[in-house]
């Protein structure tokens, strides 16, 4: 016997359907705030944002609790062949390997891997890749390097600058959420300092709303001024899976009501939003579009189907991909 949908669920689906069917007139009247979005998902997003920001409505969420959390790599910008934070290390290695490889066998192995440019080999050495090149570097110098590489590095597969491989639809959504009184946070496995270097200028998110993997910081004093130098990854603070949810709880108190991710490392963040005592929305990006890269995350897509989370087909929901 088929399971019957609850009346509230049916009503919600009917609202989304009606908004979708009436979309051209609505968009023309209100001004299209998500011009690169299309189809039922666009209507669902607009209905949700309208519902939770309308005072007096049953789904109204006070501004203090309007928290939206986005994963970074593969959710807000392209992550193939490697996430940006890994590309940053490879760029540095290629420029500095003559001296760096003399430090020891791990350093020499990293230089060989960087020279080959093999993403799989890079991922197998990810802890060393993210840590060893930058040990002892001033945090401000690391941030400056991250911004420079982000703005100048060219993706080897698409032959496009990395800075142009941010997703236009996500920038529009972040801008709309900001305008509607949401606090938008980036919550990623990438190094927090690299995220902070690019977030305000390129993503519309202030650096203090970045949650990422933390590295040890060596605090010292040089000629009467404090210095902050980068150390190794802090044990247990790789910002993935349960750690993402924990860090969001610590940073935002109430946690997200909207979360957007694309990998199994985002599952706990998505659960956090879906399980909110307010009306929550969990969104999963499906990389099914050759305009970007076609690859699947079956575990996450299966879970999204089981939990009733919204799967966003890049191919169907986005009229354009990159900004």
pLDDT of 139-181, one tens digit each? Answer: 999 999 999 999 999 999 999 999 999 999 999 999 999 999 9
Q: Is the pLDDT of residue 235 over 90?
A: no
Token pair, residue 21, equals 């069917």
Percent of the chain with pLDDT over 70: 90
What is the rounded average pLDDT for all residues in the chain?
Answer: 91
Q: What are phi and psi of 57, to 5 degrees?
A: -75, 155
Sign, Cα dihedral of 167, 285, 248, 16:
positive
Q: Is the pLDDT of residue 277 over 70?
A: yes
* Confidence category of residue 255, pLDDT binned at 50, 70, 90: very high
Instruction: Identify which of 295, 267, 246, 269 has the alpha carbon closest to the alpha carbon of residue 74.
Output: 295
Instruction: Identify which of 242, 235, 244 has the alpha carbon closest to the alpha carbon of residue 211.
Output: 244
| Measured CA angle at 99 (ends 97, 104), to 5 deg | 85
* Confidence category of residue 5, pLDDT binned at 50, 70, 90: very low
Q: Tell how strand 183-191 and strand 281-286 pair up.
A: unpaired
| Measured CA angle at 68 (ends 63, 180), to 5 deg | 45
Instruction: Identify which of 107, 91, 87, 88 has the alpha carbon closest to the alpha carbon of residue 99.
Output: 107
Mean pLDDT score, 94-116: 94
Cβ-contact 238, 215 below 8 angstroms:
no
* Confidence category of residue 119, pLDDT binned at 50, 70, 90: confident
Cβ-contact 232, 135 below 8 angstroms:
yes
Is residue 88 exposed (0-12), middle (13-18) or buried (19+ Cβ within 10 Å)?
buried
| CATH code for residues 61-80+165-317 | 3.40.50.1000
Cα 69 to Cα 23, 94, 174, 230: the distances in Å are 27, 34, 10, 26
Mean pLDDT score, 192-206: 98
Cβ-contact 278, 257 below 8 angstroms:
yes
Q: Identify each DSSP E strand in the chain by its residue range.
A: 67-70, 183-191, 210-213, 215-222, 225-233, 258-261, 281-286, 310-313
| Residue that the structure tokens 């900001």 belong to | 178
Q: Is the pLDDT of residue 20 over 90?
A: no
* Confidence category of residue 10, pLDDT binned at 50, 70, 90: very low
Cα 38 to Cα 17, 30, 210: the distances in Å are 13, 15, 28
Tell me the pTM: 0.89
Q: Is the pLDDT of residue 15 over 60?
A: no
């Amino acid at each position: 016997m088929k399971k019957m949908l609850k009346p509230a669920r049916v009503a919600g689906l009917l609202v989304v359907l009606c908004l979708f069917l009436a979309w051209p007139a609505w968009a023309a009247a209100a001004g299209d705030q998500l011009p690169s979005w299309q189809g039922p998902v666009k209507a669902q997003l607009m209905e949700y944002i309208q519902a939770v920001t309308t005072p007096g409505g049953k789904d109204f969420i006070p501004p203090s609790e309007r928290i939206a959390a986005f994963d970074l790599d593969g959710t807000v910008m392209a992550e193939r062949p490697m996430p940006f934070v890994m590309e940053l290390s490879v760029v540095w290695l290629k420029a500095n390997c003559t001296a760096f490889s003399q430090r020891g066998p791990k350093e020499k192995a990293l230089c060989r891997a960087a020279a080959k440019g093999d993403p799989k080999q890079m991922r197998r050495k990810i802890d060393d890749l993210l840590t060893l090149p930058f040990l002892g570097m001033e945090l401000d110098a690391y941030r400056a390097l991250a911004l420079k590489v982000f703005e100048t590095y060219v993706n080897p597969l698409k032959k496009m600058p990395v800075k142009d491989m941010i997703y236009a639809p996500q920038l529009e959504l972040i801008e709309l959420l900001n305008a509607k009184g949401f606090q938008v946070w980036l919550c990623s496995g990438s190094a927090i300092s690299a995220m902070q270097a690019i977030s305000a200028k390129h993503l519309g998110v202030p650096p203090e709303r970045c949650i990422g993997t933390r590295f040890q910081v060596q605090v010292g004093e040089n000629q009467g001024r404090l210095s902050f130098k980068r150390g190794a990854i802090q044990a247990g603070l790789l910002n993935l899976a349960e750690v993402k949810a924990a860090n969001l709880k610590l940073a935002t108190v109430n946690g997200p009501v909207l979360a957007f991710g694309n990998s199994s490392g985002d599952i706990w963040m998505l659960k956090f939003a879906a399980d909110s005592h307010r009306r929550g929305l969990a969104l999963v990006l499906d990389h099914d579009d050759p305009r970007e890269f076609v690859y699947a995350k079956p575990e996450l897509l299966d879970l999204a189907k089981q939990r009733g989370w919204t799967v966003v087909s890049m191919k169907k929901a986005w009229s354009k991909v990159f900004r």
